[in-house]
Structure 1
Amino acid sequence: MGFLTTVKETVLGADAEGSDDRRGRTAADAAGANRSGRPSEADFVVTTGRTRAEVLLRLVEERGGRVKQADLVRRTGWSKSTVSRHLGRLEEDGEVDRIPVGRCKVVLLPGESPFGDRSDPGEASRP
């Protein structure tokens, strides 16, 4: 959680709730937020030193190379569409794989098994 906390504090200021700072502006304003209240990609890079895609990739790595996409949304506080868009770019670049599982997606680093430590469960039932 240290890395994510650091990103949130850097973008939103020490108070991650976005309350007013001493100059009467919200922490999001201080971080260069656009009208939606979220920093633009350029402002995000300037304030954190990383792109959103790099943040997502690091979070997947910290979780052992396998994480639900919904968990990334929850951990970052970003919208579903923002996370999906950046993961899509990472997937196109071969940095991650996304596998649909029911109504959610699992994000994997290349070479990771979607079944965790276990081998493919279908192999056990094959002759």
Structure 2
Amino acid sequence: MYWVTDPIEGLSSTVGLQTPTGGGWVVIVGVWVVLAGSGVIAWRRRHGSTAKSPAKESAEPTPVAEAVLTDEERVHRLLESNEGRMRQARIVEETEWSKSKVSMLLSEMEAEGSITKLRIGRENIISHPGFEPDATRSTLESRT
């Protein structure tokens, strides 16, 4: 809306209000575009982007492959990759499991005979049978 003045004889009195013609559609389309854009932004924030970048896809196979392994198999693979033995604290770091979970799992594995645990001071050395540190072997045992 705008004010209209009477141009007759130079008078500047106000005659009345008029609504511009043809501009209504522009306002309606503008409001619709803003609402649609807001809806799209809100939907993306709620549902996130489903497209994966190629770099992420190439990095995923390692965690997926490890997710298929049992906890025992994962510990055995760690030991194999560390020459048959490693500290228990390092197993906790590498697996990102809690200390209590690792401790319970290793105790079960030791009871089954699939690993050996050696207490040295305040830490445990975990090893596959036959890969224990030399200091733990008896002098009567033959070394091969």
* AA in 2 matched with 1:104: E
SS of match in other structure, 1:95: coil
Say whether 1:93 aligns with 2:109.
no
Provide the TM-score with structure 2 as the length reference.
Answer: 0.47
* Larger-gyration structure (1/2): 2
Consecutive unaligned residues of structure 1, counting only runs of 5 or more, are 1-20, 24-46
More strand by share: 2
> 1:113, CA displacement in angstroms?
2.8
Q: Percent identity?
A: 32
User: Quick one: higher RCO (CA 8 Å, sep 6+), 1 or 2?
Assistant: 1
2:99 to 80, 86, 89: 80
Matches of 1:85 and 1:22, distance apart in 2: 40
2:86 aligned counterpart, secondary structure: strand
Deviation at 1:61, TM superposition (A): 1.3
Using structure 1 for the length normalisation, give the TM-score: 0.53
Equivalent position SS for 2:131: coil
Q: CA deviation at 1:87?
A: 1.0
Q: Secondary structure at the match of 1:67?
A: strand
Amino acid at match of 1:90: M
Distance 1:112 1:80, change over 3 A: same
* RMSD, aligned CA: 3.1
The aligned counterpart of 1:36 is none
Name the SS for the 2:69 alignment partner.
coil
The letter for the 2-side match of 1:99 is L
Question: What is the aligned length?
Answer: 81
Moved over 4 A (4+): none
C-alpha separation in 2, matches of 1:81 and 1:22: 37
SS in 2 for 1:82: helix
- Asked if 1:66 corresponds to 2:66, the answer is no
Which runs of no fewer than 5 residues in structure 2 stay unpaired? 1-47, 51-65
